[in-house]
Amino acid sequence: MECVAPQGRTRGFGIDVGGSGIKGAPVDLTNGEFAAERVRLDTPEPSTPENVVEVILEVLSAFDWTEPFGCTFPGIVIRGRIRSAANVDKSWVGVDLAAVLGERTGQHVIVVNDADAAGVAEGRFGAAAGVDGVVIVTTLGTGIGSAVLHDGVLLPNTEFGHLHLHGKEAEKHAAASVREEKGLSWEEWAERLQDFYAHLEFVFSPDLFIVGGGVSKKADRFLPLLDLRTPIVPAGLLNDAGIIGAALLAAEGAPG
């Protein structure tokens, strides 16, 4: 999946479904910025397909959006169908979310892994724009998402947050939510991140790490504490990348 400019469309719409919140906004596709202030609603409990879809529709209706749109999901997505659900209700597995949303809205819908959407946006408009070689984008939040770009082309559904470190999944060891739940200092959390990024560095030898997610706004508190050979920088689009990437992919894939 190559990060190229959409053909003939200057505006799109993206929705970012997360473990704690569902966010959406129209996007100016010429510069990769929101065209209006985003709307954020809490992810419902339980986070079943029926409940989440209703919130997605509520976000769309807040902008009266009736054109093609993109939607992220925190799990493996293959041709619009959900194949894993680590941080939302397990009933999602097997759901064709693209088809469900298409039927409910009458629009062309692209569904993509949330970190992959962020990676696409960073490759087009953010910290990975114009960067050759292997770029690993990670999103630190409820879990750890990942995207890999090679010369700007996405390798989808990598799920590095589910690699094992110290006998547990990496996101159970080093996600931003773990820092909050355990009351870790920035220094203590950085030690866990060091384990994670050093492991990725050894296995993949990337040219650049990019760190996204909400905590990227505070990157100066923890990135300088990491000791890696690979440059590591905050996401250029911070936590907006998922929405922007979803909108971009939907515009590229929309008919007409």
Q: Judging by beta carbons within 10 Å of its beta carbon (0-12, 13-18, 19+), is residue 81 exposed, middle or buried? A: middle
pTM: 0.93
Adjacent-strand bridge partners of 27: 12, 34
CA triple 93-23-50, angle to 5 deg:
40
Nearby residues of 90 by Cβ (< 8 Å), 6 or more positions away: none
Give the model's pLDDT for residue 7: 52
Domains and CATH numbers, the chain: 11-116+241-253 (3.30.420.40), 130-237 (3.30.420.40)
Provide the token pair at 77: 């997505």
Token pair listed for 126: 């953010």
pLDDT tens, N- to C-terminus, the chain (256 residues): 544 444 567 999 999 998 889 999 999 999 999 999 999 999 999 999 999 999 999 999 999 999 999 999 999 999 999 999 988 899 999 999 999 999 999 999 999 999 999 999 999 999 999 999 999 999 999 899 999 999 999 999 999 999 999 999 999 999 999 999 999 999 999 999 999 999 999 999 999 999 999 999 999 999 999 999 999 999 999 999 999 999 999 999 866 5
- Give me the pLDDT at residue 2, please: 47
Q: Mapping DSSP to helix (H, G, I), strand (E, B) and coil, where does residue 208 land?
A: strand
